[in-house]
Chains A and B, each alone.
Chain A
Amino acid sequence: MIDNWQTFLIEGVYFLAAILFILGLKKMSSPVTARGGIIWAGVGMILATLATFLTPHLSNLNLIVIAIILGALPAWWSAKKVAMANMPQMIALYNGMGGGAAAAIAGVELIRASAGHELSTTVQTLAVLGAIIGTISFSGSIIAFAKLQGLIKKSLLFNKQQIINLGLFVFILVLGAIIVAMGSVPIVVIILFFIIALAFGVLVTVPIGGADMPVVISLFNALTGLAVAFEGFVLSNAAMIIAGTVVGAAGTLLTQLMAKAMNRPISNVLFSGFGAAEGQEAGDDSGVEGSLKPIDATDAGIMMAYAEQVIIVPGYGMAVAQAQHKIWELTKALIDRDVRVKFAIHPVAGRMPGHMNVLLAEAGVPYDIIFDLDEINAEFEQSDVALVIGANDVVNPIARTDPSSPIYGMPILSADKAKNVVVIKRGKGTGFSGVENHLFYADNTRMLYGDGQKMAGELLQGVKEL
């Protein structure tokens, strides 16, 4: 089995790397040790990469080094430069690259199989499965990136989309079965197989609306892990099998947690095209009572300055406006006036679970005033002001009351129960679901129209002038 010292060393290092990955993930599950976690995992990655250079009979060394440099520099540069609010799409992008790499491994192995380096049926099957999953994750993640980055604005829906997708998927499986059954097929068939899998990934992701994107990215993350594990079997690489499977399982659980928080089964996210056609139909303001009542920043500031308790509900709008720093300044000014300030974070606020926590942490907001939905929901009733900044669907009371609404049943933050609600909002549009928000029309709600950062600044001014 182990034929020389190089293989022995490589296997040993892979074993160590696998341990470091698992311990790293474990450490990342607590805020105190999280930072150490990524460093452990990083050390594992560097060791595994260096050890791989010792692989016996490794040719094309120049190409490998050039490719690593070409891949590393732009990724390093973009990861350092990107604004915190844009993190989700960068994760989608890097994840897609991982899926693409798994697919590329499958490509090389399948083409080699055609050229005479035959693989066993089991290995060939796993190579094909990894190829399908990796390719879909690749093209799907790129689309997710493009959508979040604003490169693709619309959710594309066309007639018979689901039937076409199903047909394509069956076609991919048939081609995959042919490749496995034949053992070696003309390269054209392999290329066709990859092209159709690419197209399928695009078509499946294109109709998915903005609010569902976090779930989709998480799903693709899990899928990439699985694809990596499958290609690990193909290459008999234990580090890939273990790391890939761990990510596949963890990612699946994370996806479920996110879908559950939105009260939408994963199948709905993938196949219903929610937030596009459906949402726009529901977007008329049928049955909304009351009117939108604007307020100016000075008044709202005074209201908050004389409150006993203020709960701030941030949403994606805060991320877009980069308002977290101003919000923290405002919070500090309020705390100086002995106002109790708490932050309420909905599980799906922003583009990913924990997205808001990351932004608030960036601004310097301490953990102990940030609360989950379950922890804080009962407190809105005792609060004088709920400040909703850039959040919409997660505070829409219709989710409690109207069974016909697409967001019915989603747990929401009970901002409407606060004595006064101030909503900072850029315009009069609806949230990602396209559903009109009844909170905005409630008697105790005042609308503060404008850019989140600017308005937070004006609120701060209002508080300080007292």
Chain B
Amino acid sequence: MDVKNPIANPLIVLREEFDDWAILFDPDTGNAFGLNPTGVFIWKLLDGKHNTDDIVSRLCEEADDVPEDAGEHARQFIASLEQQGLVGYEVIAGNPA
């Protein structure tokens, strides 16, 4: 079965401005999207090497007091990035089922 790992659109600029907050800037449209520190953490793992479960696991390892529904929130966040063209998926060929 093929595995899909989310990968950040390489065209998008991550601007870390103040503290751990950041802006994602799309130079083609000029649109900018604000990211909170959790969003920044997730964005940096959107490298095509981690699937969503990996990312949630890393989040649980690194952050304190991660809520139980963090996984669902992370999936929704990544899905919203995909809808806006900020994230795509790298298909990794697996063994045929």
Q: Do A and B come together as binding partners?
A: no
